[in-house]
Structure 1
């Protein structure tokens, strides 16, 4: 179990939120699947929902803005920064793109959305009142976040330069993968997309949510209107499955223990 009430170290995946056409549908889905509670942040915040377990924030849900109608429902992973302006400049200088320029989110903090040179989109978060995820690495919370790209070497160079990551190589069997480390601690992963992936699958950051029983959770996904993209399979880190929710957002379920 990981709990935290202070800002996460720079470069650490610190928050994850879901933008969907219908937040009410998302509440019904994730409330039933992961047992989340929801707190509406009010009209001023666009009725953004803070999702929690055991009274601690685990994720957010918001409505796709009217000026982005037609955008695909998706989870966004946010990387922590203590100096948003500096990191935004570094992204541009290193071949990335700023998709949404820095903006204040009331008193919660500052954010921006960026894309790495290979096309993977991610968020940036400079905490003020909202420090990010408060509970992780237990069932019904985020347990892993990773970037999967079609150009591993280019992405590795970008993230190493911009965020100062150290890398632990975990490549095997012709598959390139590295753990991302901040201050000696593993905080996420970077991998090469499989050559078997359909051409229309873009480079992306993914979130893994822990569950106690992957097969049961996958069955529940279907009952709630979601779909199975990759059936449950065993891995060295737990039984896992890629699924979508009832509005088409992709995420991964992986088995973890209560004491993880």
Structure 2
């Protein structure tokens, strides 16, 4: 006897979406392409510092899948979510994070005027850690060189047209000059001890300090990423910390030391600047240092 549920069973048939819903979805995607409206997907984007800014480039590219791979490879971009696919297979919307900014793109849609530039067109400027590496990699992947990488007062950079019609100005910022020391800032220390070898053993074990020989007997450079300093052992020295302070004008600073009841030694000229040994009005030793004039 035929079971009731077997009698009701019918072959599986593919059911298309409601035509009005499908048309509305296509219109929404086209509005995103043209107007940059906010769009989300259910795929969680990777953690990144990138966020939408006041101005966000939205590119039309001839091959969105290849373009996404290209920008990831050349610029170190990361994907934000999954691309949104239209029912004809074209990518209707995709996002990448480059540094702290977001880049949006979609396939060409000639029917709504969303097409990649053929000649000329706008350029997108991108900041990269190494302009030579990025431009060379782009050329390896089929980009066309517009301007070779060269130096300029504001950094190093070049430009190219990618295989998808987009022009890129690739820029690498010039190294920032070291900040000038501020008046009164502690720039160096010497830890003066009665005997250097026991101190090296003790502080090496306790603090993980490592040492390299200094320029005189009993003096050691303290290696590390912190404030530059040294250890100096031997008799006849004041035990404790001896700090070196930066000053804008060493001669004027030495005059103030004497005016306030301290003692100021002779000025010594070194490759790293002018220094002088001093003692304050309570007998504490310190140095003063003036950076070399540029």
TM-score range with shorter-chain normalisation? 0.3 to 0.5
TM-score normalized with structure 1 length: 0.37
TM-score normalized with structure 2 length: 0.34
Which is bigger in relative contact order (C-alpha 8 A, separation at least 6)?
Answer: 1
Q: Which has the higher strand share?
A: 1
Q: Which has the higher helix share?
A: 2
Q: Between Structure 1 and Structure 2, whose CA radius of gyration is higher? A: 2
